[in-house]
Structure formats: structure tokens, C-alpha cells
Amino acid sequence: MRLYDVELRFRLMLGTAQYPSPAVLLDAIKASRSEVVTVSLRREAGGSRAGQAFWSMIRNLGLRVLPNTAGCHTVKEAVTTAHMAREVFGTPWIKLEVIGDHDTLQPDVFGLVEAARILTEDGFEVFPYTTEDLSVCGRLVEAGCRVLMPWGAPIGSGRGLNNPYGLRTLRAHFPETPLIVDAGLGRPSQAAAAMELGYDGVLLNTAVAKAGDPVRMAEAFGQAVEAGRLAHLAGPMEPRDMAAPSTPVMGMALLS
């Protein structure tokens, strides 16, 4: 998988929030084989700079960090947070979130496009958290985004793929653009389903962090993403209304 000019071997990306302990987080990342983790700038906040220890821990893993603008509700707030994140984490990558609804955490797609244009013009490599709307995604590509991250369902809901038709249509309209399902997945089978649609990767957090055993769940998601990708490349059979015998009947002996 190539994201901007970076090649990755594995297609699962993990968030780093809400884990029961730093040790569990590290074990989950290793079990998932993720090469990219998302980090909120808010971990660096506070007078004591308590987030420095967390940042050092992530940096020591040798992973690529994808800072995010989680919790931002305006263009100005998201752009400011992105600039701060670039200074702190030393990367042009930014997972851009501009939240428009407090209950569903649905993106403000108008603010998202505006912020994406501002940031790409300033040298950022933007990963926009968006809906599966074709026109919005088209505007994001026009704004300079070379990766799209449509949601599967509302953040943290675990509902899976609310609109498989929309996601499949999006894949067909942007065949050359890396597409990563971001948010709403709760089970490994849902991640596999996203990959079977032809998506390039999956980003998730809550489904692993809040599992009874986050390490095992991380491993399960990693395997599901790879299985879904292999199934897509293999070309799954199309569903049909009638049964079709799997054993040939021509030439079989007839018993009376």
C-alpha cells in the first residue's frame, strides 16, 4: 500500500487512545503488525508535558505517526492543530477531522474541504476523515488530498459498514486513490468486508482498545484485513438466486 510517497507492507492502522495501559497498547500494536498509528496532539498538552513519555514510547517503536485533529469543530481550530502537530511530531502527515455533529461525530464536510485546501497548499499530506459522499470526496481530491478516509459508521459505534453500496460506489469512482475505511468498525469480519470491497486499508481504535483482550483483538483484526485483501484479489464469486451443484452429475452411475 502506498500512501503519498510511503510504501507500507501491512494495511491495518491503529489508534492509540483508551487502552488499559501503555504496555497493552504496545503489545496490541505489535500483534496487529500495524506500521502506522494515529496520535492526538492533546496527549502533548498540559504544563507537565506528560504526553512526552507517551510520544517517546511510540517513537521508540519505529512506527510512522499519523497525527490527528480529533475534537476540532472549526476550520481555524483544525488548521491550527495541524500546524502544532507538524511541529511536535515532525511529519507532514495529518489526519484531518472537522466535526460537524456532536452526537454522531459526522464530519463537517464543508469545513473539511476548506481546511484540506488550506493545509495541502501549506505542504501537508492530508488524510481526510469524511463521509462516503461522492461529491465531497471529489472536492477533497481537487483540494489536493491523495488519500480518502470515509467512515464505515459513526466513531466508536461498532456498527460496521452502514452503507456498503456507497462505499462500493466510491471505490469504483476513485480507482487510483487509496481509500481507507476509518471509524465505526467493531468486529474483524467487518474489516474483512471492507477489504473485500477493494479498499486499501482500515483504521480503527475503539474496537481493539475496548475489547476484553485488546492484544488478541488486534491480532484478529490484522489477520482479517489481510484475508479480506486476499479475497478481493482472488475475485470472490458473485451471489446467485439458485443452487448450483458443486459435484458434477454427468457420467455418474444411476442406481435403481
Name the one residue in this structure whose C-alpha cell is 479475497. 231
Taking phi over 0 as left and psi of -120 to 50 as alpha, with beta for the rest, 139 belongs to alpha
Q: Which residues are catalytic?
A: 95
User: Is 183 assigned to a binding site?
Assistant: yes
User: Is 166 assigned to a binding site?
Assistant: no
The size of the chain, in residues, is 256
Residue 22's H or E segment, with its range, is helix 22-32
State the Cα angle at 41 between 39 and 42, rounded to 5°: 110
Cell of 235: 475475485
User: Is 224 assigned to a binding site?
Assistant: no
Rounded distance, CA 210 to CA 55, Å? 21
DSSP string, 125-173: EEEEEE-S-HHHHHHHHHTT-S-BEE-SSSTT-----S-HHHHHHHHHH
Strands 180-182 and 12-15: unpaired
User: Is 206 assigned to a binding site?
Assistant: yes
User: Is 205 assigned to a binding site?
Assistant: yes
Q: Known binding site for 1-deoxy-D-xylulose 5-phosphate: residues?
A: 156, 183-184, 205-206
Q: Known binding site: residues?
A: 156, 183-184, 205-206
